[in-house]
Amino acid sequence: MNRAFLAVALLSVACSREARGPVSTTDPLAPVPWPGSAGCAAVISYQVPPGHPNERTLSGRSFVYDNALAMLVHLSEGRPSDAKAIGCTLVALQNPDRSIGFSFDFAKPPFVDRAYVRAGVVAWTGYALATYDLVTQTDTFRASARAYADGLLAARFKDGPRAGLIAAGRGRWLDGGTQFEPGYVADYAVTEHQIDAYFLLRALHELYPGGQYGAAAEALGHDLIRAAWVSDEELFSAGVDADGQSEDRALDAGGAWGTLFLLAFGDHERAVRAFAATDRTFGVVVRGLPGYAPYVGVVSDFPERDLSQTFFAEGTAAMGVAYARLHQKYSARGVASVLSELRKRHGGAVPYAFPPSEDFPELPAAAPTAWLRLLERELETSSPFVFAAPRVLP
């Protein structure tokens, strides 16, 4: 797959000749005032044209993870006031049990999906809030970040293959998002969630160096490698349940975010192996563009679909960040060039995925756009930001 990115300049020239969408002058990550709380704002996750098949489910929807990413982008690009407006919303949405729901919208009054909780979303929220205080050197959001982290630590499994790992969450949507099962307990551990939580705990350790969070991060890192590392494949399993490792292989867990975690954890040799295996396993060329698929084969979350030939833009951008972090700048720039061309074609925002399918729409989206901008910033400054020690604003 690396070789494909080395030829990216030729691909970009070819792509630039194709028709593009209208050019937008609006920043897709710009915070929009949120009616749920005065003075707070959020990003709109997808740009959905009228009449689109996803209009009912995605138009005006804001996903909490996308807002956490947008906070990081605004911080990295020197706009702490925009990050603070989004952080205000992420604090307002906190549940009494120190969790946060998956998404919300901009209706009046807004719908908030409070009962659908996933540990990764909680961790990203806390991580963005803690990073705000680290970057701005203020005491603005750290109490909320601690609450999110403490809730996650309370959800760790006590024994068995999942010992030390954080439970996935609760609630689930069925029948295409038309029926909700609030009593469902996701009693498994998702690798991606552990990585998210690890970086939250590390950030909190920087804010509270004498507290519990440094030791908790170290323990979680060791437990994750013990439980989820697949030695003969040299990457992480997508998760762990009561019987052991899942057979599913996911791009983020396998080695995109997994590589960033291993580098931060100090296991450089394993990080290099994980990245190489992920590059081999998930690399695809779709519509002439090199990128990465979200999964390999049929996985438990999507039992009736094979997404291994889907271009997953968000994960592709994260692989670009991993390239940069491993000092493979030429390949990282190749990833950025492909995604930048896609951004141009779609009016200023990177499409989520293609070819489109349920849960992977070909719509301009906040998350891949945010990851691309974090990649571009890292290439421009040679200063790692996301899933790394944050820099302090001058």
Q: Is residue 394 predicted with pLDDT exceeding 50?
A: no
Question: What number is the average pLDDT over the span 371-391?
Answer: 91
- pLDDT value at residue 77: 97
pLDDT digits (tens, 9 = 90+) for 13-24: 344 444 344 334
Q: Say if 388 falls within a structural domain.
A: no
Q: Say if 290 falls within a structural domain.
A: yes
From start to end of 254-310, where are the E strands? 283-286, 289-292
C-beta separation of 138 from 18 below 8 A:
no
* Residue 216, SS3 per DSSP: helix
Q: How many CA atoms lie within 13 A of 277 on its CB side?
A: 24
- pLDDT value at residue 110: 87
Q: If we measure between CA atoms, which residue out of 184, 147, 149 comes closest to residue 169? A: 184
pLDDT band at residue 26 using 50, 70 and 90 as cut-offs: confident
Biggest distance spanned by C-alpha atoms of the chain: 57
Tokens representing 85 are 């407006």
- Tokens 């909490």 correspond to what residue? 64
Tokens representing 109 are 């009054």
Q: Say if 120 falls within a structural domain.
A: yes
Q: Say if 256 falls within a structural domain.
A: yes
- pLDDT value at residue 7: 52
pLDDT digits (tens, 9 = 90+) for 259-291: 999 999 999 999 999 999 999 999 999 999 999
| Number of domains into which the chain is organized | 1
Q: What is the pTM of this model?
A: 0.94
- How far is the C-alpha of 383 from the C-alpha of 300, rounded, in Å? 37
Question: What number is the average pLDDT over the span 336-340?
Answer: 98
pLDDT digits (tens, 9 = 90+) for 57-91: 999 999 999 999 999 999 999 999 999 999 999 99
Q: Is residue 337 predicted with pLDDT exceeding 90?
A: yes
Bridge partner residues of 61 (DSSP): 105
- pLDDT value at residue 291: 98
pLDDT digits (tens, 9 = 90+) for 198-218: 999 999 999 999 889 999 999
Q: What percent of the chain has pLDDT over 70?
A: 92
Q: If we measure between CA atoms, which residue out of 290, 259, 262, 261 comes closest to residue 277? A: 259
pLDDT digits (tens, 9 = 90+) for 219-233: 999 999 999 999 999
Q: Is residue 99 predicted with pLDDT exceeding 60?
A: yes
* Cis peptide, bond prior to residue 294, ω within 30 of zero: no
* Residue 16, SS3 per DSSP: helix
Torsion region of 266: left, alpha or beta (phi above 0 gives left; psi -120 to 50 gives alpha): left
- pLDDT value at residue 107: 85
- How far is the C-alpha of 120 from the C-alpha of 196, rounded, in Å? 6
C-beta separation of 295 from 357 below 8 A:
no
Domain extent at residue 121: 2-6+31-302+309-381
pLDDT digits (tens, 9 = 90+) for 314-327: 999 999 999 999 99
C-beta separation of 166 from 187 below 8 A:
no
- How far is the C-alpha of 3 from the C-alpha of 250, rounded, in Å? 22
From start to end of 153-305, where are the E strands? 169-174, 179-186, 189-190, 229-230, 235-236, 239-241, 244-245, 283-286, 289-292
Bridge partner residues of 299 (DSSP): 302
- pLDDT value at residue 9: 41
C-beta separation of 206 from 146 below 8 A:
no
Q: Say if 13 falls within a structural domain.
A: no
DSSP secondary structure of 165-196 = PBP-EEEEEETTTTEEEEEEEE-SEEHHHHHH
Q: Say if 386 falls within a structural domain.
A: no
Q: Are strands 289-292 and 311-312 parallel, antiparallel or unpaired?
A: unpaired
Q: Are strands 311-312 and 353-354 parallel, antiparallel or unpaired?
A: antiparallel
pLDDT band at residue 393 using 50, 70 and 90 as cut-offs: very low
C-beta separation of 100 from 121 below 8 A:
yes
The residue type found at 45 is S
C-beta separation of 250 from 228 below 8 A:
no
Q: What is the CATH number of the domain that holds 337?
A: 1.50.10.10
- pLDDT value at residue 5: 57
Q: Say if 271 falls within a structural domain.
A: yes
pLDDT digits (tens, 9 = 90+) for 117-156: 999 999 999 999 999 999 999 999 999 999 999 999 999 9
- How far is the C-alpha of 220 from the C-alpha of 1, rounded, in Å? 31
Q: Say if 287 falls within a structural domain.
A: yes
- pLDDT value at residue 2: 64
Q: If we measure between CA atoms, which residue out of 353, 351, 348, 319 comes closest to residue 336? A: 319
- What is the average pLDDT value for the chain, to the nearest integer? 92
Bridge partner residues of 292 (DSSP): 283
